[in-house]
């Protein structure tokens, strides 16, 4: 790649031939006569970085862009991906799958990581001591400092950042200005270096210009994969699912063809979308050579939240029922029970303890279709019940202002009449016939209780949480 007659960047083949950034065009052609030179296009570079930033959203939501680098804040994401090594492999393999050649570095500071990556470190510098040693070995030829600063450093005989950092900072500020000195401090982590976060767009539209005209549809799969990778990262950050997207093909005559992509269900899976694209391009016929592609996400909606079950990660054979069976075997059948309801109006008889394994077996054998009832039809019919019933109703004192429990009780509901149990009157252990008027009440301390009145007087039966 050439800019203003000098080499800016080259591929590995050019590097092996002795071609490096900064060389003149004529020197590079002399070293490699068959070298293909391309003029630098900063607009295409910016678009590529923008697409890579969207793609990086699958790894972290905190992404920053500079004119020549992509910064990923991964400190909070390491545990999610199983550690730095696993995450680094995913990033490098994902970039290689899109045919991107990376120069990278992992460091505690953004500027330190940028400088090390631009120098081709391709290494991890986690500890501050490692970072400082890596920076000290770098050349002082920092492009952002300008030609004036670089000439002065050459005049001083300084070639490495380590030599520069050993000089008195006050004198350097007088001779070089504040910029280079502050940059060194930021790179070493001695000054804060906040970054401007990349704002993932509200609407996904990504365009990719092809290096040459494509005349066969199947040859567009690789370029389409890059666009889909950016879409998948954007969907991950925005927590969206896509139901329909479209690939727009710009032909050399200026016309645009549209290839709609509609997966069977809303998804954020890049692999599924890529397989769908392969199927479409396998039978698509181009009416002319294609020069550019653009991908538009036409129908997206918020990904529904999901709550994981308590035993969602249990191993096979170690689910809820297996756990209960082991507890019963260890503690005894009578020690592990579940509370089940009974068809009974009397509160003290409306529940019972049952064997959880037997309950699960019965439910599986007698499962019936569930037909939901509209909420409005059940709200008025459902009485207010406390979660805590006393073992036996407790008699309450009564005064002229009504029943008392830690002070006078204010009745909050109308009476609810319960009459039931006439059939088991006189049986051993049976509650017998009850005739009660239940109320929800509250005392002056704000405590809510469930009380009733019968022929004997007022009684406390339950407490509200």
Q: What is the pLDDT of residue 20?
A: 78
- Per-residue model confidence (pLDDT) at position 2: 83
Residue 258 predicted with pLDDT over 80: yes
Q: Is residue 231 part of a domain?
A: yes
Residues 6+ apart with CB under 8 A from 262: 243, 244
Q: Is residue 286 domain-shared with residue 236, that is, in the same domain?
A: yes
Indicate whether 318 and 284 sit together in one domain: no
pLDDT at 243 over 60: yes
350 and 422 share one domain: no
Examine the domain organization and report whether 245 and 323 are in the same domain: no
265/71: higher pLDDT: 71
Task: Find which of 190-204, 331-345, 363-377 is predicted with most confidence, using mean pLDDT.
Answer: 190-204
Give the residue with greater pLDDT, 198 vs 382.
Answer: 198
**Residue 248: CATH number of its domain:** 3.30.1490.100
CB-based contact 220:295 (threshold 8 Å): no
Query: Is residue 392 domain-shared with residue 433, that is, in the same domain?
Result: yes
Whether 451 contacts 437, CB under 8 Å: no
One domain for residues 330 and 395: no
Handedness of CA 193, 199, 200, 204 (dihedral sign): negative
Task: Name the least confident of 33-42, 290-299, 391-400.
Answer: 33-42
pLDDT at 187 exceeding the cut of 90? yes
Instruction: Kindly report which listed range (41-45, 146-150, 325-329, 438-442) carries the lowest average pLDDT score.
Output: 325-329
Claim to verify: residue 227 and residue 247 sit in the same structural domain:
yes
Q: Answer yes or no: are the C-beta atoms of 403 and 451 closer than 8 Å.
A: yes
Cα–Cα distances (Å) from 243 to 201, 221, 223, in that order, read 18, 20, 21
Q: How many CA atoms lie within 13 A of 9 on its CB side?
A: 13
Q: Is the pLDDT of residue 18 over 50?
A: yes
| Within-domain flag for 108 | no
Q: Kindly state the percentage of the chain with pLDDT values over 90.
A: 47
Backbone angles phi and psi of 394, in degrees to 5: -105, 125
Mean pLDDT of 152-180: 91
1 in a domain, yes or no?
Answer: yes
Residue-wise pLDDT tens digits, 276-329:
898 889 888 898 999 999 999 999 989 887 766 665 555 554 567 667 766 776
Mean pLDDT of 407-431: 80
- Confidence (pLDDT) at 83: 93
Q: Could you give the CA distance from residue 464 to residue 389 in angstroms, rounded to a whole number?
A: 9
Q: What is the mean pLDDT of residues 387-401?
A: 89
pTM for this predicted structure: 0.62
pLDDT of residue 432 exceeding 80: no
Residues forming a β-bridge with 411: 441
Q: How confident is the model at residue 428 (pLDDT cuts 50, 70, 90)?
A: low
> Residue 11 above 70 pLDDT?
yes
If asked whether residues 295 and 232 sit together in one domain, one would say yes
Least-confidence region, from 193-202, 257-266, 419-428: 419-428
We report the CATH number of the domain holding residue 7 as: 3.40.1170
Q: Output the pLDDT for position 373.
A: 41
Residues 358 and 398 in one domain: no
What pLDDT does residue 315 have? 53
Instruction: Judge if 445 and 414 occupy the same domain.
Output: yes
pLDDT of residue 378: 40
Contact 94/82 with Cβ under 8 angstroms?
no
Distance CA 343, CA 353 (A): 14
209 and 282 fall within a common domain? yes
SS3 31: helix
Percent of the chain with pLDDT over 70: 88
In the predicted structure, residue 371 carries a pLDDT above the cut 70: no
In a domain, 79, yes or no: no
In a domain, 394, yes or no: yes
Which segment of 8-22, 197-211, 423-437 scores lowest on mean pLDDT? 423-437
- Enclosing domain of residue 252: 205-302
State both tokens at 29. 């052609």
The total of structural domains in the chain comes to: 4
Torsion angle, alpha carbons of 125, 128, 132, 138, to 10: 20
pLDDT of residue 297: 94
Q: Is residue 78 part of a domain?
A: no
The whole-number pLDDT of residue 427 equals: 66
What does the mean pLDDT of the chain come to?
A: 85
Indicate whether 456 and 419 sit together in one domain: yes
**Most confidently modeled range among 7-16, 153-162, 349-358:** 153-162
**DSSP class of residue 146?**
H
pLDDT of amino acid 377: 39
- Token code pair at residue 214: 């494509």
Q: Residue 374: its pLDDT value, please?
A: 44
- Asked, for residue 6, whether it belongs to a domain, the answer is yes
Within a domain: 213: yes
């Amino acid at each position: 790649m050439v800019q203003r007659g000098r080499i800016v960047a080259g591929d590995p083949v050019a590097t092996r031939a002795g071609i490096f950034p900064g060389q003149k065009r004529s020197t590079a052609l002399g070293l490699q006569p068959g070298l293909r030179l391309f003029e630098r296009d900063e607009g295409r570079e910016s678009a590529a970085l923008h697409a890579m930033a969207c793609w990086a959203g699958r790894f972290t939501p905190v992404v920053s862009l500079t004119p020549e680098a992509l910064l990923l804040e991964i400190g909070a994401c390491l545990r999610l991906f199983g550690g730095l090594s696993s995450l680094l492999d995913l990033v490098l393999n994902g970039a290689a799958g899109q045919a991107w050649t990376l120069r990278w570095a992992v460091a505690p500071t953004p500027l330190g990581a940028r400088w090390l990556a631009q120098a081709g470190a391709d290494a991890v510098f986690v500890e501050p001591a490692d970072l400082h040693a890596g920076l000290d070995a770098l050349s002082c030829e920092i492009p952002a400092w300008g030609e004036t600063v670089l000439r002065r450093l050459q005049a001083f005989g300084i070639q490495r950042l380590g030599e520069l950092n050993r000089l008195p900072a006050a004198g350097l500020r007088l001779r070089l200005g504040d910029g280079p000195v502050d940059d060194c401090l930021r790179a070493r982590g001695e000054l804060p270096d906040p970054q401007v976060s990349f704002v993932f767009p509200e609407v996904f539209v990504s365009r990719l210009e092809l290096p040459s005209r494509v005349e066969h549809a199947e040859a567009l799969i690789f370029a389409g994969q890059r666009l889909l990778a950016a879409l998948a990262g954007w969907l991950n950050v925005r927590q969206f699912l896509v139901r329909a997207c479209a690939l727009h093909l710009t032909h050399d005559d200026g016309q645009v063809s549209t290839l709609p992509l509609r997966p069977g269900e809303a998804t954020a899976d890049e692999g599924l979308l890529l397989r769908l694209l392969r199927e479409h391009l396998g039978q698509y016929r181009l009416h002319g050579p294609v020069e550019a592609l653009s991908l538009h996400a036409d129908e997206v909606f918020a990904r529904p939240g999901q709550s994981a079950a308590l035993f969602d990660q249990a191993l096979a054979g170690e689910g809820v029922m297996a756990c209960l069976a082991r507890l019963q075997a260890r503690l005894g059948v009578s020690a592990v029970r579940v509370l089940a309801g009974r068809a009974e109006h009397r509160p003290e008889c409306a529940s019972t303890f049952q064997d959880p394994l037997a309950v699960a077996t019965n439910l599986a054998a007698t499962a019936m279709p569930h037909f939901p009832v509209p909420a409005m039809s059940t709200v008025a019919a459902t009485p207010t019940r406390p979660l805590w019933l006393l073992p036996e109703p407790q008699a309450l004192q009564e005064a002229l202002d009504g029943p008392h429990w830690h002070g006078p009780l204010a009745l909050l509901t109308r009476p609810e009449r319960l009459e039931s149990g006439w059939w088991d009157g006189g049986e051993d252990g049976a509650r017998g016939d009850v005739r009660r008027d239940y109320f929800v009440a509250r005392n002056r301390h704000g405590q809510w209780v469930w009380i009733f009145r019968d022929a004997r007087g007022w009684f406390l039966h339950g407490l509200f949480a």
